[in-house]
């Protein structure tokens, strides 16, 4: 008897909108944390919100890290593959077109979304990366991201997703052909609620 490939905590909210959203929480969050973003970004869109399966001091994450700011990149690759397989199963279960997801990730969720883009680009059509860091220090897999839209919204005072991190990430995405929009804010490691209407506008333009 095979295990259910969707046997990980998640929330599915159907909707008539054309853009299915994949919500990916930050460290210590869960599948409910980002659900309020739907009303701000795309109220009619179907939403799949997924919980990370790694625990760090009891806090859910999408992949392991060696210490703050240093990722276990082997685990990151494995967890990105695991999430890609989950998405394939979700597409079949919830009647979503293959690879139609727009990921909306915060912090750790943004980093797994970046890893998906670089390593499994067919899994996503677009991504909104909020407080995102560089997933692979030595450079990401040499994937092709032509046709993928990415919005990066990091804080200028973010001590983790620094200006250098942001610049490197944006450069890596563009080098692989992604159409990248930068939407910085003056805060730290968080989501600037004032920018959500502009994120929603970006989503509608896709």
Instruction: Convert 48-112 into a string of H (helix), E (strand) and C (coil).
Output: EEECCCEEECCEEECCCEEECCEECHHHHHHHHHHHHHHHHHHHHHHCCCCCCEEEEEECHHHHH
**109 is written with which tokens?**
């969720």
Q: Assess whether 107 carries a catalytic annotation.
A: yes
Q: Which of 92, 88, 130 is nearest to 112 (CA)?
A: 130
The string of pLDDT tens digits covering residues 97-133 is 999 999 999 999 999 999 999 999 999 999 999 999 9
Q: Give this prediction's pTM.
A: 0.96
What pLDDT score was predicted for residue 53?
94
Which pLDDT score, from 0 to 100, does residue 1 have? 38
63 band by pLDDT with thresholds 50, 70 and 90? very high
Q: What are the φ and ψ backbone dihedral angles of 113, each rounded to 5 degrees?
A: -65, -40
Nearest CA-CA partner of 132 in 26, 19, 36, 28: 26
Q: Is 185 a catalytic residue?
A: no
More confident residue, 27 or 138: 27
The verdict on whether 44 is a catalytic residue reads no
Q: What is the mean pLDDT of residues 73-98?
A: 97
Supply the pLDDT for residue 206: 84
Q: Is the pLDDT assigned to residue 144 strictly greater than 60?
A: yes
Mean pLDDT for the stretch of residues 180-194: 97
pLDDT at 2 over 70: no
Provide the 8-state DSSP code for 148. Answer: -
| Set 107, 114, 123, 153: catalytic member | 107
Among residues 45, 158, 185, 192, which one is catalytic?
158
For residue range 32-46, list pLDDT tens digits in order. Answer: 999 999 999 999 999
Selection from 2-16, 63-77, 83-97 with the highest mean pLDDT: 83-97
Mean pLDDT of the chain, nearest integer: 95
CATH class of 10-205: alpha beta
């Amino acid at each position: 008897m095979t295990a259910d490939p969707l046997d990980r905590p998640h929330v599915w909210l159907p909707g008539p909108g054309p853009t299915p959203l994949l919500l990916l929480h930050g460290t210590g969050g869960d599948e409910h944390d980002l659900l309020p973003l739907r009303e701000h970004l795309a109220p009619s869109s179907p939403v799949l919100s997924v919980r990370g399966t790694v625990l760090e001091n009891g806090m859910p994450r999408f992949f392991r890290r060696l210490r703050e700011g240093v990722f276990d990149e082997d685990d990151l690759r494995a967890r990105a593959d695991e999430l890609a397989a989950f998405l394939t199963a979700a597409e079949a279960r919830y009647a979503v077109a293959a690879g139609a997801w727009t990921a909306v990730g915060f912090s750790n969720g943004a980093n797994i979304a970046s890893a998906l883009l670089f390593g499994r680009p067919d899994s996503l059509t677009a991504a909104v990366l909020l407080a995102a860091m560089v997933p692979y220090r030595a450079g990401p897999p040499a994937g092709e991201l032509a046709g993928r839209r990415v919005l990066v919204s990091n804080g200028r005072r973010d001590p983790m997703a620094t200006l250098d991190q942001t610049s490197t990430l944006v450069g890596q995405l563009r080098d692989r052909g992604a159409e990248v929009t930068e939407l910085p804010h003056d805060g730290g490691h968080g989501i600037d609620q004032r920018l959500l209407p502009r994120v929603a506008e970006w989503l509608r333009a896709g």
